[in-house]
């Protein structure tokens, strides 16, 4: 019944009386009142006025499976994508991994809160409820695993483009997988890609994305490097619509990534866009790996997406994203 009431309210620009709703659904006024209160508890801003009835105000703050599914069904690209929504879960990437042998095709996993979110190199990722977008997309590319090494870079470029288009905020990419607001340099988004193999064949790739959207503050230990879209612009964003824009960029352009998989030594067409968005290039950085750290100038990207650093001793170091950490000397970037 709640879904039917929600549909009635969404289809009306004015108040709808409890009597009209009860007559349409053949239920009591008390049942309507109870369902309305339940919808309010789920986050729907339903206002009431004596002698007028009920009215659904803006649903921008509502973030649940029903609203996301409705948005996805409006898109020809997304209506056949399987959706799993969790109020709370360990992590969306782990949820996707558990489904690798159960499901086929493209699947989307979204949570309002993660209890065990992870970043690159096993770092923890804070993903509290109500403010962020925590999602994983499971795709099934037909390719050898060594051809997927720069998938994280491609995903980062897609998300960066979506965020810039949606918000107008200047956002750059910190190699390889962080999105930062400019010029503050604060981290807005992190991306973690995982490849599931069987007998050295790719079963699936899982792209995990975490975005600080409407956060108004952060813990003292990270507030100097963490940022949010809200803190940068002063606006509160509709997480559902932003998520849809991200999916359109990522899934809609995935064919561009797949088309370059067979040309191992040729730079893919999208790499120049990544290079232009990468704010690490041209900056002095510290490269850490294997228990050692050294400084140099981030000077370029290879066709495969590895970062080249001209070290202070004049040597050129090629940095692979899964092996080293790169941190700017003048800040997080």
Cα–Cα dist 173/153, whole Å:
9
- 13 pLDDT band, cuts 50/70/90, is confident
More confident residue, 93 or 51: 93
**Total-model pTM:** 0.84
Q: What is the CATH number of the domain that holds 223?
A: 3.30.930.10
Same domain, yes or no, for 93 and 216?
A: yes
Q: Is residue 235 part of a domain?
A: yes
pLDDT at res. 104: 87
More confident residue, 218 or 6: 218
**Exposure of 53 in the CB half-sphere (CA atoms within 13 A):** 19
Same domain, yes or no, for 89 and 144?
A: yes
pLDDT digit string, tens, across residues 286-307: 888 777 888 999 999 998 889 9
Q: Is residue 333 part of a domain?
A: no
pLDDT at res. 144: 77
Q: Is the pLDDT of residue 195 over 70?
A: yes
Same domain, yes or no, for 84 and 179?
A: yes
pLDDT at res. 147: 77
Residues 6+ apart with CB under 8 A from 24: 4, 8
Q: State whether residue 157 is helix, strand or coil.
A: helix
Q: State whether residue 271 is helix, strand or coil.
A: helix
pLDDT digit string, tens, across residues 240-263: 999 999 999 999 999 888 876 655
Same domain, yes or no, for 217 and 257?
A: yes
Same domain, yes or no, for 35 and 107?
A: no
pLDDT at res. 262: 59
Cα–Cα dist 308/316, whole Å:
7
**Exposure of 201 in the CB half-sphere (CA atoms within 13 A):** 5
Q: Check if the beta carbon of residue 108 is closer than 8 Å to that of residue 97.
A: no
Q: Is residue 263 part of a domain?
A: yes
Q: Is the pLDDT of residue 213 over 60?
A: yes
Q: Is the peptide bond before 122 cis (omega within 30 degrees of 0)?
A: no
pLDDT digit string, tens, across residues 271-291: 999 999 999 999 999 888 777
- 95 pLDDT band, cuts 50/70/90, is very high
Which one, of 37, 38, 39, 4, lies nearest residue 22 by Cα?
A: 4
Mean of pLDDT values over 147-151: 85
Cα–Cα dist 217/209, whole Å:
20
Same domain, yes or no, for 232 and 247?
A: yes
Tally of structural domains, the chain: 3
The mean of the pLDDT values for the chain is 88
Cα–Cα dist 234/51, whole Å:
37
- 324 pLDDT band, cuts 50/70/90, is low
Same domain, yes or no, for 152 and 240?
A: yes
pLDDT digit string, tens, across residues 99-117: 999 988 999 999 999 997 6
pLDDT at res. 212: 96
Q: Is the pLDDT of residue 170 over 90?
A: yes
Sign of CA dihedral 97, 102, 104, 109: negative
Same domain, yes or no, for 199 and 260?
A: yes
Q: Which domain holds residue 289?
A: 280-328
pLDDT at res. 120: 54
CA–CA distances in Å: residue 183 to residues 123, 166, 188, 212, 279: 25, 18, 12, 17, 10
Question: What percent of the residues of the chain are helix, what percent strand, and what percent coil, each to the nearest 5?
Answer: 30, 30, 40
Same domain, yes or no, for 151 and 113?
A: yes
- 93 pLDDT band, cuts 50/70/90, is very high
Tell me whether residue 314 is exposed, middle or buried, using C-beta atoms within 10 angstroms of its C-beta: 0 to 12, 13 to 18, 19 or more.
exposed
Q: What is the DSSP letter of 114?
A: B
Q: What is the CATH number of the domain that holds 323?
A: 2.30.30.100
Q: What is the CATH number of the domain that holds 25?
A: 1.10.10.10
Same domain, yes or no, for 241 and 319?
A: no
Residues 6+ apart with CB under 8 A from 155: 177, 191, 193, 207, 209, 250
Torsion-angle region of 187 (φ positive above 0: left; ψ -120 to 50: alpha; else: beta): beta
Same domain, yes or no, for 98 and 246?
A: yes
């Amino acid at each position: 019944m709640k879904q039917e009431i929600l549909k009635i309210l969404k289809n009306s620009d004015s108040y709808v009386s409890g009597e009209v709703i009860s007559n349409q659904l053949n239920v009591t006024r008390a049942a309507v009142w109870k369902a309305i209160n339940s919808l309010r508890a789920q986050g729907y801003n339903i206002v009431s006025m004596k002698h007028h009835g009920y009215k659904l105000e803006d649903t921008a703050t509502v973030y649940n499976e029903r609203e996301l599914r409705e948005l996805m069904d409006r898109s020809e690209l997304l209506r056949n994508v399987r959706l799993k929504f969790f109020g709370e879960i360990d992590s969306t990437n782990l949820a996707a991994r558990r489904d690798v042998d159960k499901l086929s095709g493209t699947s989307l996993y979204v949570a309002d809160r993660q209890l065990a979110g992870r970043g690159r190199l096993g770092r923890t990722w804070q993903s509290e409820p109500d403010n962020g977008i925590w999602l994983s997309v499971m795709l099934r590319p037909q390719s050898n695993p060594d051809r997927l090494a720069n998938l994280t870079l491609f995903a980062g470029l897609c998300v960066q483009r979506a965020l810039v288009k949606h918000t107008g905020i200047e956002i750059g990419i910190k190699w390889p997988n962080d999105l930062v607001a400019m010029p503050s340099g604060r981290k807005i988004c992190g991306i973690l890609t995982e490849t599931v193999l069987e007998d050295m064949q790719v079963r699936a790739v899982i792209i995990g994305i975490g975005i600080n959207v409407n956060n108004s503050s952060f813990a003292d230990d990270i507030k100097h490097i963490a940022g949010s879209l809200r803190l940068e612009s002063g606006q509160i964003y509709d997480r559902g619509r932003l998520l849809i824009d991200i999916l359109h960029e990522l899934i809609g352009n995935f064919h561009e990534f797949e088309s370059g998989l067979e040309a191992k030594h040729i730079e893919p067409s999208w790499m120049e866009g990544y290079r232009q968005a990468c704010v690490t290039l041209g900056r002095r950085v510290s490269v850490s790996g294997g228990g050692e750290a050294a400084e140099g100038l981030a000077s370029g990207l290879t066709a495969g997406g590895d970062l080249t650093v001209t070290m202070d001793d004049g040597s050129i170091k090629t940095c692979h994203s899964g092996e080293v950490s790169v941190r700017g000397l003048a800040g997080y970037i």
